[in-house]
A and B are shown apart, each in its own frame.
Chain A
Amino acid sequence: VVKVATRSELARRWHDLMDVDAGRIADGRAGIEDVGWALFRCLLEVASGRRTWAETLAAAQRADLVQPRARHLKGPQGPP
């Protein structure tokens, strides 16, 4: 699950839940196209094996992903 935040304030507050910050559109720091492309690239990376926050925390899916080792709890690598 790739989570998209609607506001930057929300993305900051839920820093360990949100993968993509779409609030940059409201701030004027990015356009819809920019965030759309960022999300597109993020999806390809996640499809290639990058862990999303939801996956890391194993909280989002009913078919919860088993995280047996603590070393997996490090979150996504860098901003999307």
Chain B
Amino acid sequence: MRWRTSRRPLGARAAAAHARARGWTTCRWPRRPGPLPPLEGYTFQGYRNADGSVGTRNLLAITQTVQCVAGVVDFAVRRIRAELLPRTRTSTTWSALEHGYGCGVAIDAPDAEVPIRTLRHISLNPNFGGEVMVVSLGCEKLQPERLLPPGSIRDPRRARTAAEDAGLDVVCLQDDAHVGFMSMVEAHPAPGRVHLQRLNARRRETVPASELVVGVQCGGSDAFSGVTANPAVGFCTDLLVRAGATVMFSETTEVRDGIAQLTARAATPEVAEAMIERWPGTTPTCSAAASTAAPTPRRATRRAGCPTSSRRRWARSSRAAARRSSGCWRRARSCAQAARGPGLRRHAGQRLHLRHAAAGRRHEPARLHHRPRHPLRPGGGARW
């Protein structure tokens, strides 16, 4: 087996040889499940929506167009929780969909649609039954009509009038009608009651398991994850797929070494080839950041990478302070000086700054994950 040089898609057999040549191991269980028979007759009790999707919970969602309104929404939900829900005979619960996006999410960039689409689809979760309330500030770039364009909530019951065509229930905080903060808060429960009544009319009915959409996600690993929980979840995933359900998973960069498990389950050879094209550790995210695969550089490495000239310059310095300090400190300082670039020159009083910078560098050696200084972590305490 030669190493691949062309980008031509591989056949199934070549793909297996390709994986073997790279040392991609496959576990013995179950190497190739083959065409497993579909599972028939498995059902659950779900809420069927007007658009055909099926929810597993009955939730009234309050979504927001911009994170600036999160404080008001939080306050309003707490108030609703305290006042409205205890007085309403309901099986419904309220869910505030917070997010951290500001106006930058709505710029006209090629991929700006991705976070907007994500927010939109979270708001259209089948568990909400299309009864989504939107809280808007008024001045944000991501206007409610852009978050949920007309027709995105496909509910024929809503399209009775033109005003209801969009199916959007928007509370705009900068509206002139609101006088004072409590007016904004009070604007939430009234439309909420209407949605709550509609949601309370939802009833569970028997639906096939093929309507399920399940996401699997790592919630913390230990040495046993790979031998107990992950294989069991994988087996369950096979069962769900055999029953016709949809399963999603994340952390796809970690799939690289288990790609044979996925290609063996691909619906068509084209899908398997697309996976192999996609996953040999060359995804743009990985190559651009080079952060997940690269080991954390040690201090000695950084020291060696320090420009000699600046080290010499520092060594030539006749300042008593520099002589007094240890070699380790001096090197760290010269590293910091080199890293700071030519923009900052030494001057009287610079020693303190350099020390500070050196300590800061020492505290975050990898520069990958920025962690603020903390007095209880090494190198984080106040020393001067």
What residues of chain A have their CB less than 8 Å away from a CB belonging to chain B?
1, 3-7, 10, 20, 22-26, 32-33, 35-37, 39-40, 43-49, 62-69
* A38 to B61 Cα, complex, angstroms: 31
Which residues from A are CB-within-8-Å of B239? 36-37, 40
Which residues from A are CB-within-8-Å of B227? 25-26
**Are B204 and A63 interface neighbours, CB within 8 A?**
no
* A4 to B236 Cα, complex, angstroms: 12
B274 close to A (CB within 8 Å): no
* A3 to B219 Cα, complex, angstroms: 8
B341 close to A (CB within 8 Å): no
- 17 of the cross-chain contacts (CB-CB < 8 Å) are A3-B219, A7-B228, A22-B228, A25-B227, A33-B235, A35-B232, A39-B236, A44-B212, A47-B56, A49-B57, A62-B98, A64-B95, A64-B96, A65-B95, A67-B93, A68-B85, A68-B93
- B212 touches which of A25, A47, A49, A63 (Cβ 8 Å): A47
What residues of chain B have their CB less than 8 Å away from a CB belonging to chain A?
29, 42-46, 56-57, 59, 61, 77, 81, 85-86, 93-98, 122, 204, 209, 212, 214, 219, 221-222, 224-225, 227-229, 231-236, 238-240
In the complex, residue of chain B having the shortest beta-carbon distance to the beta carbon of A58: B93
Which residues from B are CB-within-8-Å of A22? 228-229, 232-233
The A contact surface, by secondary structure, is mixed
Which residues from B are CB-within-8-Å of A35? 228, 232, 235
In the complex, residue of chain A having the shortest beta-carbon distance to the beta carbon of B209: A44
Which residues from A are CB-within-8-Å of B46? 47-48
Which residues from B are CB-within-8-Å of A49? 45, 56-57, 204
Known: A7-B224, A49-B56, A68-B86. Contact between A43 and B232, CB under 8 A? no
Having A39-B236, A66-B85, one finds 15 other A-B pairs with CB under 8 Å, namely A4-B232, A6-B222, A22-B232, A23-B224, A25-B232, A32-B232, A33-B235, A36-B234, A37-B236, A43-B214, A47-B56, A48-B45, A63-B98, A66-B93, A69-B86
Determine which residue in B81, B93, B122, B234 has the highest number of CB atoms from chain A within 10 A of its CB, and name it: B93
* A10 to B224 Cα, complex, angstroms: 11
In the complex, residue of chain B having the shortest beta-carbon distance to the beta carbon of A24: B228
- A32 touches which of B56, B96, B122, B235 (Cβ 8 Å): B235
Which residues from A are CB-within-8-Å of B231? 25, 32, 36
* A23 to B232 Cα, complex, angstroms: 10
In the assembled complex, how far is the CB of residue B141 from the closest CB belonging to chain A, in whole angstroms? 23
**Are A4 and B233 interface neighbours, CB within 8 A?**
yes
Which residues from B are CB-within-8-Å of A37? 235-236, 239
Which residues from A are CB-within-8-Å of B240? 40, 43
In the assembled complex, how far is the CB of residue A38 from the closest CB belonging to chain B, in whole angstroms? 8
Which residues from A are CB-within-8-Å of B229? 4-6, 22
**Are B233 and A44 interface neighbours, CB within 8 A?**
no
In the complex, residue of chain A having the shortest beta-carbon distance to the beta carbon of B59: A65
**Are A7 and B86 interface neighbours, CB within 8 A?**
no
In the complex, residue of chain A having the shortest beta-carbon distance to the beta carbon of B80: A66
- B204 touches which of A48, A64, A65 (Cβ 8 Å): A48
**Are A36 and B56 interface neighbours, CB within 8 A?**
no
Which residues from B are CB-within-8-Å of A47? 44-46, 56, 212
In the complex, residue of chain A having the shortest beta-carbon distance to the beta carbon of B63: A63
* A33 to B236 Cα, complex, angstroms: 8
In the assembled complex, how far is the CB of residue B77 from the closest CB belonging to chain A, in whole angstroms? 7
In the complex, residue of chain B having the shortest beta-carbon distance to the beta carbon of A46: B56
* A37 to B232 Cα, complex, angstroms: 8
In the assembled complex, how far is the CB of residue B152 from the closest CB belonging to chain A, in whole angstroms? 19
In the complex, residue of chain A having the shortest beta-carbon distance to the beta carbon of B125: A63
Which residues from B are CB-within-8-Å of A23? 224, 228
**Are B228 and A25 interface neighbours, CB within 8 A?**
yes
* A20 to B93 Cα, complex, angstroms: 25
Which residues from B are CB-within-8-Å of A5? 229
In the assembled complex, how far is the CB of residue A9 from the closest CB belonging to chain B, in whole angstroms? 10
* A3 to B97 Cα, complex, angstroms: 22
Which residues from A are CB-within-8-Å of B221? 6
Which residues from B are CB-within-8-Å of A24? 228
In the assembled complex, how far is the CB of residue B210 from the closest CB belonging to chain A, in whole angstroms? 12
- A36 touches which of B45, B93, B219, B235 (Cβ 8 Å): B235
